[in-house]
Structure 1
Amino acid sequence: MIEKIRVGLIGFGISGRVFHAPVMRSIMELDLVKVTARKADQQSLLKERYPHAEIALCADDIFNDTTIDLVVVATSNEMHYPFAKRALEAGKHVVVEKPFTNSVEQADELIALAKEKNLILAPYHNLRFNSDYRTVEKMVKSGRLGRIVNLESRFDRFRNYLRPNAWREENLPGSGIFYDLGPHLIDQALQLFGKPNGVFADLAIQRDHAQTIDNFDCLLYYDNLRVSLKGSMLAKEPTPRYRIFGMNGNFVKYGIDPQEALLRDGKFPDEDPNWGQEDPSLYGKLNIVEEGKDIEEVIPSEIGSYPDFYQNVADTILGKADLIASAEQARDVIQIIELGYRSQLERKVVSVENTLIAY
């Protein structure tokens, strides 16, 4: 008999209903038993898609439920830290949507609290489980590009207007795309190459009447490598998702993992045998010199799988595995973001020195 982990989900907006609830449904060890849903449309959708889950009108209903083992925090960014802290204090394991916290100080406090209580604390860095990133990771590790000298990674969108009543558009702690999209790109860079020596960031507000960062260009400096991370809200024409430059040649990847689009369409991973498989038209192109010959090769994309994140969380809670995405790694991502804001303020490259702890 499979041991069930009872889950409480705080937040049934875009994050909770798109990126968490349908993915958790794929994991046999997880049982989504309670979800905060205050709006009538959220309650209706919850009853339709997860009829066995109880509606909670506030987070306290989840914190105070002694039968819940795991709390998932999928709220606005400013609530990640206080809700994660309260869940840990209530003796629950915790998954926190990115950004993990809005500051390193908050991250360090949560990490210490989780260790004190011997609880699992995991950031939802789900883009490690994208088909495109998994393919890039494979190419970097393959050695076929030779020594890597530069990696460019972009996460672009096009929305030339401001969404009304959207907290992401307001000047709040943790708002703006450097906190929203930046953590994914920074986390991937740290996983591929470890701790950089320095950070330079150019952060901008470009759209009319915008109040928070909607364009970023962040450069990570390594000994013999530069990593360029960029994001824009005004990218109408598709840009390469990744470009890798090595001594032997290049790898270029357009397009993005299909999982988000499927989840937004209401699809469930456990109902699609081809889940996470990219259309071949999006496969990346390798162009290198190999054994003295020019080689051009289409590289089939690896299969993406957000359920792998939650399977790992379940296995870790049950003592069968270690976390793939750890709180310490997420803390280092927040450190890079803080250094990026410092770089923007001082208009110079900022040394990383001994500020990262996980590498």
Structure 2
Amino acid sequence: MNNQITVAMASFGMSGKVFHGPLLKVNNNFKVKYILERSKSLSKELFPAAEIVRTYEAILANNEVELVVVNTPDKFHYKMVKQALEAGKHVVVEKPATLRSIELSELIELANSKKLVFTVFQNRRWDGDFRTLKKLIKEAPFGKLIEFESHYDRYRTEITPNTWKEEGDEYCGVLYNLGSHMVDQAYVLFGNPKAVTAHLKTVRTGGEVADYYDIRLDYKAFSALLKCSYLVMDPGPRYTINGELGTFKKWGIDGQEELLKAGNLPVGEDWGNEEPESWGTLVYTENDEYIEELVETIPGDYRIFYDNLFEVIRNKKQLLVKPEEALAVLEILEACLLSDKEKRTILL
């Protein structure tokens, strides 16, 4: 395809192997031609025709490359995105886009000045449960929203050795990892909160970084509660919405990540479908009648991210994940850090 976008991936770790690689592999609008692996050659299984390069400079200097996927550890995002933009490349960066909002502001300004596309891989906007949640909140069968609660709980007692996610400063740990997804989802649903209150903890024995958070985002007429813990053996609902007239609850989590981890490519009309036994439950009143019903889960589809990116780069369509939105999310995460440090509510 002459209209293909030539892509270089800046690493081939977990996110490259599980997310970006498979999504780009099945999208004929993109051609992954260069992959940075410092010493290994793991990407050959998925991309046998791609060239493995050993330095980032080899990507930056290559005029064929239009799009760079920066999917390296978080602390490298700012420098590598900046270098790619300065080299005239469009950029996809893993979340969080940078560690500090001031860095992201600079990158947004740089991308705009060079008329380059710059976006953040917020794939969980296309989880099936979240897509269903968006539709429900718009329709509001539960009446006026009173409280929204979201959980991303795991049970991992072990501390994985020699990994950047398990050691470092306050920017490591679950807040900037899973919290980047959960705060982004709340922002997509409700916009900027008026106030932020957060509690961070290290709950695993021997842990060095936060592996628990309890975040309260206060809006004008309701609150959004975001919780995560690595020590939850029997999780409750993933999402709970309480309204004036009813409640929605959804258990489990979107299955796309596990399918991708197992080596499945995201293809076919059934991709992202969820079995009826996993659908959410809505209870509400209508004309004084109590109603309980299952809510069919809209299929999850991470493929939408790169479908949209092609349309933006080639056809000047609207970007679905705007870097300005990622900036707002980072500012909320920074407010969480400050709230926990000073043990107070932060007004935004």
Q: TM-score, length-normalised on structure 2?
A: 0.98
Pair 1:297-2:298 in alignment: no
Q: 2:55 aligns with which of 52, 55, 58?
A: 58
Q: Percent identity?
A: 39
Match of 1:265 in 2: 262
Shift of 1:207: 1.1
Match of 1:341 in 2: 337
**Is residue 10–residue 68 contact of structure 2 (8 Å, CA) maintained in 1?**
yes
Equivalent runs, 1:1-359 vs 2, <5 Å? 3-40=3-40, 43=41, 45-172=42-169, 174-270=171-267, 272-352=268-348
> What is the alpha-carbon distance in structure 1 between the residues aligned to residue 315 and residue 107 of structure 2?
21
Shift of 1:142: 1.0
Shift of 1:36: 1.0
Shift of 1:2: 5.5
- Name the SS for the 1:230 alignment partner: strand
**Is residue 111–residue 328 contact of structure 1 (8 Å, CA) maintained in 2?**
yes
Which range moved further: 273-282 or 116-125? Answer: 273-282
Shift of 1:319: 2.5
> What is the alpha-carbon distance in structure 1 between the residues aligned to residue 119 and residue 248 of structure 2?
31
**Is residue 2–residue 28 contact of structure 1 (8 Å, CA) maintained in 2?**
no
RMSD of equivalent CA atoms = 1.1
**Is residue 21–residue 46 contact of structure 2 (8 Å, CA) maintained in 1?**
no
One-letter amino acid matched to 2:172: S
> What is the alpha-carbon distance in structure 2 between the residues aligned to residue 344 and residue 230 of structure 1?
14
Shift of 1:173: 6.0
> What is the alpha-carbon distance in structure 2 between the residues aligned to residue 183 and residue 282 of structure 1?
25
Question: Gaps (5+ residues) in structure 1?
Answer: 353-359
**Is residue 78–residue 173 contact of structure 1 (8 Å, CA) maintained in 2?**
no
> What is the alpha-carbon distance in structure 1 between the residues aligned to residue 316 and residue 262 of structure 2?
33
One-letter amino acid matched to 1:244: I
> What is the alpha-carbon distance in structure 2 between the residues aligned to residue 59 and residue 245 of structure 1?
49
Q: Structure 1 runs of 4+ off > 4 angstroms?
A: none
> What is the alpha-carbon distance in structure 2 between the residues aligned to residue 239 and residue 80 of structure 1?
34
> What is the alpha-carbon distance in structure 2 between the residues aligned to residue 265 and residue 350 of structure 1?
42
Shift of 1:291: 2.4
- Name the SS for the 2:290 alignment partner: strand
Shift of 1:111: 0.4
Aligned length: 348
- Name the SS for the 1:179 alignment partner: coil
One-letter amino acid matched to 1:223: K
Shift of 1:56: 1.3
- Name the SS for the 1:156 alignment partner: coil
Match of 1:357 in 2: none
One-letter amino acid matched to 1:18: V
Question: Gaps (5+ residues) in structure 2?
Answer: none
* 1:120-150 deviation digits (Å, cap 9, x = unpaired): 0101000001001001111101121111111
**Is residue 170–residue 209 contact of structure 2 (8 Å, CA) maintained in 1?**
no
- Name the SS for the 2:208 alignment partner: coil
> What is the alpha-carbon distance in structure 1 between the residues aligned to residue 64 and residue 138 of structure 2?
43
- Name the SS for the 2:185 alignment partner: helix
One-letter amino acid matched to 2:230: M
